[in-house]
A = this chain, B = another copy of it.
Amino acid sequence: MLFKVEMKVNLPTDMPAEVAAEIKAREKAYAQGLQEKGKWRHLWRVAGSYANVSIFDVEDNAELQDLISNLPLFPYMDITVAPLCRHPSSIHEDDR
């Protein structure tokens, strides 16, 4: 089941650089792990911003909550979620 997830990162401007670097490193590892498992199907940067557009592929709402709330950057992000489903005009097999 797919969800569009948009994340905007708002790190405090006075966060020490090494603290920020450590959180970002954990975020990257976490994000890549979920991509490898097929849970995070797409991950794009929005050009001109510190934000992304993502497509998550999860079992249900509970798994979506589990995956998102464990993001290392979760406390620093504005996040919006939209449930997706197959569009009757889609010809792409995996645009479920």
**B-contacting residues of A (Cβ < 8 Å)?**
1-5, 11-14, 27-28, 31-32, 35-36, 41-50, 52-53, 55, 60-62, 64-65, 68-69, 74-76, 79-92, 95-96
Measured CA separation A90–B84 after assembly (Å): 21
- Give the copy number: 10
Contact status of A45 and B13, CB under 8 A, knowing A60-B1, A61-B2: no
B4 touches A85 (CB 8 A): no
A35 touches B65 (CB 8 A): no
Which 9 pairs from chain A and chain B are nearest by CB?
A: A48-B81, A47-B83, A44-B84, A47-B61, A62-B85, A61-B83, A45-B87, A47-B65, A61-B85
